[in-house]
Structure 1
Amino acid sequence: MGQVLLSIPVAFLVENALSSGESKEFIIDCLRQGNYAPLLEKSKDPDMDFADRLKTAEEMGDDWEEAIRNDYVFKFLHINGLKRLLRFRFGKEVDHDYIQENLTLRQLSIEPDKIETLRLLVSRQWNVIEENDITGEKTGQRTTVRLELKYQ
């Protein structure tokens, strides 16, 4: 099977559910059964309407189950969606963990093993460029990256 493509609302359903810290199969079971409380009480956005987003997934044909099991790629991702992804998946906040300059995010310090995950998720529209820090070296267990819109 190729990469699962998700719309923004469905991708953030997946991200919010995953942010609960529960196992993937537990998350899938809860979403299938409409039992959202165990996920929402632990998720980063407890006010998200999971039922509405599941309806959107059905209408758009987005395979949220496969995305939870094996990851996905955004069909389209604007700058604010990218910032939201960084908060959900990587716990990174603008003006605290990175800076925004127009359509570029700079000085994002991230663990090297998470860079490929970030690339997978955003690669259709965003370049993830590894940079050296100010001292010219990678900082310990983190790498500084820049995210740039591919087509400006």
Structure 2
Amino acid sequence: MTRPKISQMEAYMIETLRASGVTNEAIIQAAKEKDVSTWKQINDQYDFEQLLVLAEQDFSTFEEIINDGYAVKFVTVGGLERLLKLKFQKVEGKDFQKLKTGVQGLDLSGSSLDELKQMLSINWKITKNNEYVSVLLKEKKDFA
């Protein structure tokens, strides 16, 4: 199943809301009411209005993004680390080792691993050996 694609920043905002206890239903309701003013106190660095723009483009797709998941259009190495922390509560040094080209030694399995595979952009290669996962940038030759 192909998931709707969103930007890395939109993913950060969604996962920040979830990490702060905002439910999927509350995110969808706020988008319906076009009022995200209460989210400013969660993170005043984010322009949560961007989520309203996303919802206005196609509300049923927005609901699918919130309820069923999404893929990120393009994820940087720093973005990967941040998404692992926001979405899966995984921290560098404790849950994985950060490399220049990704992460290794990630303890992630089952539905969480499936979700990571579906949300990352095509520039990433995910491999699992025994109990740990590596997520590395693909080399240019891997895109041919």
Instruction: Tell me which interval the TM-score lies in, with the shorter structure as reference length.
Output: 0.7 to 0.9
**RMSD over aligned Cα, in angstroms?**
2.8
- Partner residue in 2 for 1:27: 27
Give the structure-2-normalised TM-score: 0.78
Q: Larger % of helix: which?
A: 2
Deviation track 1:113-145 (CA, whole Å, cap 9, x = no partner) reads 31101111115221221122xxxxxxxxxx310
* Change over 3 Å in CA distance of 1:32–1:47 after alignment to 2: farther
- Partner residue in 1 for 2:15: 15
One-letter identity of the residue aligned with 2:5: L
Work out which of the residue numbers 119, 142, 145 in structure 1 matches 2:117. Answer: 119
- Partner residue in 2 for 1:139: none
Total equivalences in the alignment: 138
Gaps of at least 5 residues in structure 1 are: 133-142
For 2:36 and 2:55, the matched residues in 1 are separated by 17
Question: Secondary structure at 1:96's aligned position in 2?
Answer: coil
Whether contact under 8 Å (2:126, 2:136) holds in the other structure is: yes
Whether contact under 8 Å (1:72, 1:120) holds in the other structure is: yes
One-letter identity of the residue aligned with 1:54: L
Percent identity, aligned pairs only, is 25
Gaps of at least 5 residues in structure 2 are: none
For 2:40 and 2:89, the matched residues in 1 are separated by 17
Which shifted more, 105-114 or 76-85? 105-114
* Change over 3 Å in CA distance of 1:40–1:145 after alignment to 2: farther
Whether contact under 8 Å (2:73, 2:121) holds in the other structure is: no
Whether contact under 8 Å (2:19, 2:87) holds in the other structure is: yes
- Partner residue in 2 for 1:6: 6
* Alpha-carbon distance, 1:95 to partner: 2.2
For 1:59 and 1:15, the matched residues in 2 are separated by 20
- Partner residue in 2 for 1:100: 98
- Partner residue in 2 for 1:57: 54
* Change over 3 Å in CA distance of 1:61–1:148 after alignment to 2: farther
* Change over 3 Å in CA distance of 1:13–1:131 after alignment to 2: same
For 1:109 and 1:2, the matched residues in 2 are separated by 25
Give the structure-1-normalised TM-score: 0.74
* Alpha-carbon distance, 1:88 to partner: 0.7
